[in-house]
Structures are given as structure tokens and as C-alpha cells.
Structure 1
Amino acid sequence: MTARTALSPEPVHHTLTSWYHRAARDLPWRREDCSAWGVLVSETMLQQTPVARVLPRWEEWMRRWPEPADTAQAPLAEILTVWDRLGYPRRALRLQQAAVAIVERHGGQVPQDVDQLRALPGVGEYTAAAVACFAFDQPEVVVDTNIRRVHARIFSGQALPGKTFTAEQRRLARDVFPDPQADGGQLACTWNIAAMELGALICTARSPACSACPVAKLCAWRLAGSPPPTEEQKTRGQSWVGTDRQVRGAIMAALRTGGTTARDDLLYGLPLPSADLDQRQRCLESLLADGLAEQREARIALPGAHPMC
């Protein structure tokens, strides 16, 4: 069971949220004029993807398709092209499916209700809570990887939270959450984004900048002498070279150049020395099965892409 600290969360709440108001990054999906749709697009893109890669893709997406109806009507080939190299392109497919559902079920407006958000394609527990909180100021408990790490260090005295979001960590997130009724829920909403920002900028997994941390003096992990992570807490970074993700990404990059590509060129011509023919075939078939590519006789294209003249 996760160790708990006797530290009251209230001083952490106020210190960390004050720091956030001074130090937060100016990101377009955090601005007051950003629509709920813009927040949903950002949260979908940011899954397992750093801000630096997301920012230009988000800006291009919102320029082309500023409303769910625009995304719902866009050709899938264009959707996947704008998604570019963000990775996990099924997220783009689900985002368009969510846009269609928003148009059909909610009159083109992103719903505020968490259960209705959860019912959208591709929207899970975290994304629903994040959109409700960041777009509609609803004091929902939001927990991503950064927040889990901040909770583990400040309140539990652990170096890392481990790979799995445990029931104990879920209880801890609720226990340290500000009173959702206080201040109209504003403190609770700011707490979510402040903890997330601290984890992204300072309380990082590999090199925490404790000397710059606004709550270092309140942190149970620091007070315990910053013990190293146990084997159970450690997570292994995802490999890339030689994986199916790399091969699928290379195939998608080739298809985004436009038109159609000969199937044999994808199987034999891509510069992937670590990928044998079986792996290339498997990855191509998986893209076809996922609806991220389509076959036209002996050629492959993005869904709905026009052939090159």
C-alpha cells in the first residue's frame, strides 16, 4: 500500500497554484478564448506526446477545422495528413469520430457532462475529466502521468508512482483534491493544471529540479532524503527502432506524400533495415484493418485520398 504523509494538502494547494499563476506556459489551449473543442483537440493530441510536437499540429488543425462540424466533414486523408508525425494515428481517426458524434448527438457543441464526454469515441476517463475541468471549469479530479508523479512525491514520499494507476493512488488523488465547493471550484480546477505543470517542468521523472520547486519544503520525498525509486516503481522507456510503431509510422509517412503508393514499394522500398518482410506486411495489414489506409488494386493510399495526376 502506498505510504501516506501527515502533511495537510492545503498549504500545497495555495503554494502550488500561486506558483502556477506566475510561471505557467502560455499555451493556446489554456487561453480564455480557446473553445471547448480546442481543449478536446489538445487533450487528444497530448496523449503520450510532448507539447513541442503538438503545438504546430494543434494550430494547423484549429485553423482548418475550428469547430466539430468542420472536422466531421473533413476528408479522412486530410485529417491524417495534418496529424502528421504525432504518432498513434488512430487518435486522429477517433477524434473525427468524436466530432461526428458531437454534431449528431449534441448539436455541434462539446458536451459539459462527464458521462456524455466519456460516451464520445476515443474519450476515456482522463480526457473526459480534463475537458470538463479545463474547458468548463468543473472541479473534476484529473490525473495524468505528471500529476501521479507529483502526488507520489509530495504526499507519499515516493520517487515514482510506477506504471499502473492503482486504487490507492486514485484514493490519494481524491483525498488531496481541494474542496470542489470552495471558491466556485476555481481552486480545484487550478490545482489540476498546476500539479500537471509542475510535473512537466520541474518535478520530472528523470531529473527533478528540486531547487526550483515551489513546494520543495513541503515535499515528503524531499523530507525523506529523496530516496531512489524501487524496482517496482521504475518504468521502462518505450523502444522505437525495430518496433511495429516505427514501421507503421514509416508507412503512414510515405502515404501522406499524397496520391497512391505501390504496395511493393511500401513492402520493399522503405529504408527500414531492421524490419523484415513479415513485419512490414503485418504492419501494413494492421493499418488497413484500422481504417488508416486503403488498398486500390496493387496500390495503397490514405482513406479517400485522390490519386496523383
Structure 2
Amino acid sequence: MTPTAARLDSFHRRLLDWFDDHERDLPWRHDGTTAWGVFVSEVMSQQTPVARVAPIWAEWMTRWPRPADLASVPEAEAVRAWGRLGYPRRARRLHAAAVAMVEDHAGEVPDTEEELLTLPGVGQYTAAAVAAFTFGRQAVVVDTNIRRVHARWETGHALPEPSLTRREMALAAELLPSEESGLSPRYNAAVMELGALVCTARSPRCGDCPLLDDCAWIAAGRPEPHYTPKGQPWAGTKRQIRGAIVGHLREREDGDARTTTIQAVVGSVQPSPEPSRVEECLEDLIREGMVTQDGDRVTL
């Protein structure tokens, strides 16, 4: 059901008033941040807390303030500079995107969703977020935090569906302020902030929510989720092995190590790992272009 105009207006006003008082002081929100700076922050912040992102982002902006600066160095340097943000393939995608910006966009970040989506590794969320937050475009930005706020306020569900649905996208578009108002970029940031700080997945602080007295989930008595969220295991997984391998190579000045050393490094995080499993992870990393192997030496 589409919210009434009065309810929607109240939703926007309360959110934006709350955001005026509670917006976090994140470095990429500062005046003067370039489109490239916002682009990098969006890629880094996916699945990673902003507290961990901020110092690495600042280092990248000092080292590679423009797409051309990152594009001019080997991909391995980007992976080494990724630190412990996790999912290091994102570093490779950022490097590939920087190269594409130089080759196809005169070294600039494209300013429309359509063009942003042509960049390597850029999906719907990143394209919409950069278009909205950098260029003030009317874009439907949908991340996990936004989906959760929408689900609770409008549908009365504790959590959104496990995967993004067309219905959720349609609802997000309905809730967006009009293009004429010019409010949609800040609105998107406000909903995201509310989901990150107040309307959290676990232990939501409903008493601090500006939408408390108009929330369908509260009105329904805060029902439990209609499914059991599946967490992502870490210990004992291939992701853990891959992370140990890339992390060790990243910390070495020359970026390489013997396979016997890698086996020992993996053994320090996974007791008695199967050699075949380590080899399988190495083969995956080689196939993906994350590392290379020459004899018994592996290089980032």
C-alpha cells in the first residue's frame, strides 16, 4: 500500500530533521571531497564498518587522489594498500574502475547511473549512491540499512527479504522525495544513517527513532523475523584461508612467499588444514588474478 501524501511528508521531515542532528562526521562527507573520493568510500564501505574504512580511505586519497593516480600503479599495490578491510577483490575492482575512467571517461568519475554501471565491478547500489551523493541525481539508493528501515516502517516486518526484491525497489522509489524538492540525495543518506545507528538488525534503539510513533513494526508489536537470517561463517572456511594467504603476502615488502610458508601461515589460523584445501584456494586466487605462482613462490 502506498503511504498517503501526509504520512510520506511526515516521514521525510522527521528523517531529515533527525539527520541534521545526528549525521556522523565521516571524512568523505566533508566539503571538497571529490567524486573519486566518494566513489572509493562507497566501494570500501560495502560490508565493512566505516570506522575501519576511514583511515584506509584517507591513506588512499593521499596516495591516489585521482583515478589516474591509481590507474598508473600495478594492481598489486592497490591490494597491498587495502589493509584489513576484507574482500580484497574490491581493491582489484577499484583499480579496474580507475583504469576504465582514464581510458573511457577522460580520467573522471561518470556522473550518471548508466555510465557508472559500465565500470568494472560497479553494481546498482554503487552507481546509485555515487550519482546521488556526488552529483545530486534523483537515484533510488538501496542498501541493507535502507531496506531494513523501509521494511519496518512500511511493511511491519522485522527484516527485509533475504535478497532484494522488485517490490522493495518499487517501495524505495515510492518513498523517495520528488525530484523537484531536491531532497532525495540527503534523504537517502538519512535513511542509511538511521539504519546504521538506530534501526539496527540486532537490538534496535526504537526509543531514539524519529519514526517511532508511525512505525508499522512497532504497531504490530515488534514481531520476530519471518525467517532465520543465515550468518556468514568465517572459521574453517575457504574465505579464511584466502584471507590468510593474501594478508601474509600483503604484509611482505616484496609481496611473495614460498608455498611452505603459506601452508604454515594458514596453519596458524586453521589448525591442521588439508594441504589440498590450501592448494585449492591458491588455485582460485591465481585463476582470479589475485596472485601469481612461479615454482614454489607465490606473489601478490
- Shorter chain as normaliser: what TM range? over 0.9
Aligned length: 295
Q: CA deviation at 1:268?
A: 4.2
Superposed CA RMSD in Å reads 1.4
Residue 249 of structure 1 corresponds to 243
| Aligned: 1:207 with 2:206 | no
Q: Which runs of 5+ in 1 are unaligned?
A: 303-309
| Inter-partner Cα distance in structure 2 for 1:28 and 1:160 | 30
| Inter-partner Cα distance in structure 2 for 1:120 and 1:138 | 18
CA contact (8 A) 1:4 1:156 kept: no
SS of residue paired to 1:53 = helix
Q: CA deviation at 1:230?
A: 1.4
| Inter-partner Cα distance in structure 1 for 2:30 and 2:180 | 24
Task: List aligned pairs for 1:117-156, cutoff 5 A.
Answer: 117-156=116-155
| Aligned: 1:282 with 2:280 | yes
CA contact (8 A) 2:248 2:265 kept: no
Q: C-alpha deviations, 1:6-61, integer Å up to 9, x for none?
A: 68221010110111011100101112211000011011111111111111111111
Q: Out of 290-299 and 206-215, give the one that drifted further.
A: 290-299
Aligned amino acid, residue 263 of structure 1: T
CA contact (8 A) 1:117 1:123 kept: yes
| Inter-partner Cα distance in structure 2 for 1:22 and 1:117 | 32
Structure 1 segments of 4+ aligned residues over 2 angstroms from their partners:
3-8, 267-270
Q: Which runs of 5+ in 2 are unaligned?
A: none
Gap change, CA 1:145 and 1:269, over 3 Å in 2 = closer
Task: List aligned pairs for 1:154-233, cutoff 5 A.
Answer: 154-182=153-181, 185=182, 187-231=183-227
SS of residue paired to 2:28 = helix
Q: Out of 21-30 and 265-274, give the one that drifted further.
A: 265-274
Residue 97 of structure 2 corresponds to 98
Gap change, CA 1:14 and 1:269, over 3 Å in 2 = closer
Q: Percent identity?
A: 49
CA contact (8 A) 2:244 2:265 kept: no
SS of residue paired to 2:298 = strand
| Inter-partner Cα distance in structure 2 for 1:241 and 1:136 | 41
| Aligned: 1:114 with 2:91 | no
Normalised TM-score (structure 2): 0.95
SS of residue paired to 2:293 = strand
| Inter-partner Cα distance in structure 1 for 2:283 and 2:239 | 13
Residue 253 of structure 2 corresponds to 258
Normalised TM-score (structure 1): 0.92
Q: C-alpha deviations, 1:37-89, integer Å up to 9, x for none?
A: 00110111111111111111111111100100001012222211110111111
Aligned amino acid, residue 255 of structure 1: L
